[in-house]
Every structure is written in C-alpha cells, then in structure tokens.
Structure 1
C-alpha cells in the first residue's frame, strides 16, 4: 500500500472528490442546511440540537452523523426538510416524534423511541417535505447514514435504475409501506449501532471502524429491501397485511404466544401461508421471529431502564438466567452483563 493510499484509508489524505463520477459526497454543511424552521424564533433551538452532531465523511462516499447528547428542553420544530439523498436513522436511545406532510390532508406521524430505525427515500431529484419534529429532554443516541443514489449504485456495482424502488419512491408512496420507513431494528442492526457507541478505539482508527459499521448497516438495509421485493411478488397485498397482523399478535403475546393454528385462524390465513409468508417477509420462521423479538425487548430493557440481567430475562419469559445469557450472546455477540456494564460506563 502506498503512503498516499494509507493516508486516505485513515482519513489523513485528501477528501476532495469534486470532479467526475466521484462528485457524490454528502457535505456536512448541506445536511445542516437541509432543515429549515418556519419560525425564525426557533432557529436557536434548531442550532442547539445540531451543535452536538459529530460528522464522519467517509471514503466510501457517504456521511455518518452521530448524535450523543441530552436536549436541554422539550422542542417542537415545524419546518421544511430538503431531501437530497437517502437517509437511514437508528435510534439507540431517546424519545422523539415527527410528522411528515406529503400533500394536502396527507400526513404520517411516527413515534421515534429506542430501538427504532427510519428511512427517508430519495426521488429522482431533490424535493421538500413539510415536517414537524418533536424532541423530549431525554438522552439521545442516534446514528444517521446519508448517501446519494448515485454513490449507492456505484458501491453496489449496478445501474441507478436497478436500486430497490423503495429507496427512490419518496413519501407519496408511503401508503401501505410504513413498515419499511419506520420499524424496529433487527438484532444485527441493533448490534452494529451499539458497537458504534461502544467504540473505544483511538481517533486515528475510529473513523475506519465507523466506516466498516456503516457499510454493515447499509448492507443490512439493502438485504431487507431486496427481501421485501421478493416477498411482495410472492404475497398479495391482503396477505401482507395479514402477516403483519400475525407478527403484531406474536409481539403482543410474547409470554404466551398462540399456536400456528390459532394464529392462522385469527388473521384469516392458512398455516402454510403463515409459515412461508413469515420467512419471505420477515426473514425468519414465526417462532424464530418471536425469539429475535424477545431478545430485542430484553436489550431495550437493559438499555432504557438499566434493568438487571435477571429482571430482563424474567420480563421476556426466561426462568433460567443462564439460558437467557447464552441466547442473548448468540443473538448479539455479547453477554448481557457485559452489555449492561458498557451502557453504565457511557451514562
């Protein structure tokens, strides 16, 4: 490796990608300027939120922004968001809400809490979205990825038109697809986000580590969208609604889940469709999904309440704490006790 390449790898070389096909970098200043509040009197509140952001422009051609702070007050910020790229946000902790207004009489309100991921797609050209953003005065830990469709297609080695359609649909097609734009993080995503905040590497290599985790998150998002495309061709719209209903039933009855026969009867699908549809839509069997959900719920309890390992185990239905610890480590690659200690260090 040449000295110049080594410097580029660790962020010590030039990041000037202003020419030719490489002119696809996301500028931190443009991200800050993309949100404009309607009331000039709220500008100071917006600035107070933005000043805590740490920006990591990466050599892969996209931008990672890390938020780690406690808002001084409750904020309500009505304004306009300029969409010039694809955005993925991962909320490790915090409480917020935002309402998108995509047209007269049309809006979507999302509650953003610990363990939630959101995606804002990009159309064929920049566009504005009317939004109301609310933030509670609770500790915020959030990772956001910004990447242009052009750079994403270049990373994937494919043409722009071959990207998953949901990445370039814009809010006008949110109807029926809210699950893709705001949903619970899966175990693999949760683990990658946690590792970003738990990183203890020196400044010199921290950026390289964050780039690796960001690429991992991006890969997981693309896999999710590609799997959804496959499931959409295999399932009719009413079947997809029934499968999401079935998933919600399993989540609501985590400690005493129904049998497959009972579940199929309640949502109006046969057992075979439940089994094949679950795997196609959610990438797991029914009870495999339930196991993942229980582990995610346990992680959320540890993260938000700083519960003991025993309390988290009992809350998700484990009597044997040792069995719970083994399952947690298998799911997330870390023992729950070690995870809890890392959280307490960061508080």
Structure 2
C-alpha cells in the first residue's frame, strides 16, 4: 500500500484535528502518501482531495473543529453516490481510507469496504454514543465545556436564589448530561436511558428548599425532553422563578482536553496500522484503556448504554 486518504464526517468534535495529525504523521513515518478529503463524503464525491504533508498538520493538535471541514451528504447515501466515491478514490490512487466520525460515517465506511476500498473508522463525536468503545474523541472536552458553563450558571443561580434548567446535547444518548451532572452536583439529571418522574424532580426541589437550599440545577439531555418545556412545567408546579439555558453548539467547540488529544493520537495511529495490515471494515476502539480494532458489524449489533450505576450515584449524592 502506497497511498491512503483521511476524511472527517458528520458533526465536528474537539480532537478531530489531533486524529488527522496522527494519521498523516504515522502514515508518512511508514512511507505512505496521505490524501486529505475535504468536506467529508460530499467532498469525496466531488473530488475535493488534496495531498497532506507533515507541515500540513503542524500546529493543529490543540485546535477544535476539523481542518478538513465536514458536511452532510444525502447523495452518498445512494448507490450512485457511493459508486462515484469509489471512482474518485481509484482516480487518485487511494488504496485505503480512514474515516473520522460517528455511526453514520462508519456505515458509509463499511459500504466503501464492501465495494473494494478498505476503510477504517475512528470514533469522533461529542455524544459518546458509539457502541464498542468506552470513549469517543471529543466527549471529554464537551463535558468539561458543560461543567464550566454550569459552574458559571450556579454563581448567578445562587445570587438570585433561582432554579436553573440546563439542556445539553448528546442526540439520543445521555452521557454528556450524566457525566456533567455527576461532576457538577446537579440536583436532578434527565437522560433517555432512564425513566424520570417530574413529580419526583419537583419533590426533590421542595425538600432542598425546606432545608434552606437557595438554588438548584436540573440537567436535561436533549434526547429525553426539551429543557424549555421542563422549565415551564417546574415553574407551573412550584411557582418559583425558573430559568432555562440551552447550551447548544458551544459544546462542540473549543481546544480539546489532554485526554482527547491523547485518545485521538492513539486512535489515529492505530487506524493506520489497521489499514497497513489489510484490516478494513473495522473501527478503532478503546476498551479498558487498550486500543484495538473491532469489526463494524460487531459494533453495529451492540446498543450503546451509559453506566447507569453513575446515574444511581448521582441521585444518591444529590439527596
């Protein structure tokens, strides 16, 4: 193998640049030419491919987002679009592809492997919702961003003696809400993977108020409910002034944490090793701090679930 390509797809995540850097430099170390595909599968179909050198990935390990940009591609979901992508890779002499992204990106990578282009996935998403890996690139940075925001919100909540509802991202997974809520002592955490009773949430608030608690933080994962609606319902049931903050895309940005930079570097390098070993149709995973490759099919058969013992612990500590 002499030439490989790398692309980022789906939502951006802090640490993607560190993964790109690792792919390029590990590839060059092994004598490979590395081609950057800009704007994900959309760019692949339309020929937005450029060579990457050691200098191309200098000074990016600490930057959020992705230097290769990212875009959604409805065309790539069709057989015609996938055929165009394969032809473009063959035109540029690409013999293996590394895809940094989430679940949908990996399904595209699996398709390309089936069509003759060995592809390896590197899990990059703040949602931490990819089965088979303990962590995804960007998750640690996102929860730290949420924690910093909650710390600031708590200051003003204390000053005004208010209840604040904070809605966080995560798509259909509650990992961001769970980890950030436990780390920041939220009074209640609402996640898709666990049933919740708003009466219980309100009762917890009332108990806290009776013992002199002056403020409360309710953390809501976007996949379970609307933070605005939860806030309105709490206000209706209690009569207390309740404010809502939807953190939104601030959670995707920012300089990646040390954990995400190291994870991305390890995973990017491992992806090159898998490609060189002829091991396409796999994703890189971290399991109990060990980096390994697992088949896409194995990952897709599983269902991601957060550690619900953490959810139980958060409820106990917020008593």
User: Shared fold by TM > 0.5?
Assistant: no
For normalisation by structure 2, the TM-score amounts to 0.23
Larger relative contact order, structure 1 or 2 (CA cutoff 8 Å, min sep 6) = 2
- Give the alignment's TM-score, normalised by structure 1: 0.22
